[in-house]
Amino acid sequence: MKKVRIHDKNFQCLLEAARIDAQISRMAGEINRDLAGDNPVFLCVLNGAFMFASDLMKQITLNESEIAFVRIASYAGTTSTGRVDELIGLTAEVAGRTVVIVEDIVDTGRSLRHLQEMLRKAAPKQVKTAALFWKPDALEEAVVVDYKGISLENRFVVGRGLDYDGLGRHLPDLYVLEE
């Protein structure tokens, strides 16, 4: 069993990189099929989604697609603050376009709801959401995720773009906090 220590906490491997990669390929296939002929803007939600967005975009075959970035923060340490801070807002022109929100993980759903509301003001044609991980038991908002990767138990995870206070994002596997 692979283990890592980050700051003051111990984590153990939950999902190997190859299993995550397979799900990203499946999601890319679904998006390519559903949005064939469209010119979507993929909106990568920094910081956590940088690795997922990179892996996903390499498998997108929609030649008119673009990628844009927003940056929000809602976590301090291993818990959600209940607040969503917008650190870099929307700069891309999305009016009349399909937007695909690219998120690392949907936990309470607050970040996603915040983004969906922010986007609605920019009058897109439609908003779709792709989330690599989601924790159904932590969900507090009625948000729709169109493309779901892997469902997780309500436990804190790091790796694959996700951090514990800034560290662990580079890990290709997903690790879970040891009880």
Q: Which residues are catalytic?
A: 107
Q: Whose structure tokens read 């917008």?
A: 86
Is there a contact between 105 and 133 (Cβ–Cβ < 8 Å)? yes
Is residue 48 near Mg ion by the rule CB under 5 A? yes
Residue 130 binding target from ligand IMP, Mg ion, none, CB below 5 to 8 Å by type: none
DSSP 94: -
Residues interacting with ligand IMP, by CB under 6 A? 48, 74-75, 80, 103-112, 156-158, 162
Nearer to Mg ion, 48 or 168 (CB): 48
Residue 109 burial (C-beta neighbours within 10 Å; 0-12, 13-18, 19+): buried
Q: Which stretch binds Mg ion (CB under 5 A): 58-66, 71-79, 82-90, 165-173?
A: 71-79
Residue 138 burial (C-beta neighbours within 10 Å; 0-12, 13-18, 19+): middle
Nearer to ligand IMP, 98 or 111 (CB): 111
Is residue 159 near Mg ion by the rule CB under 5 A? no
Contact positions vs Mg ion (CB under 5 A): 48, 75
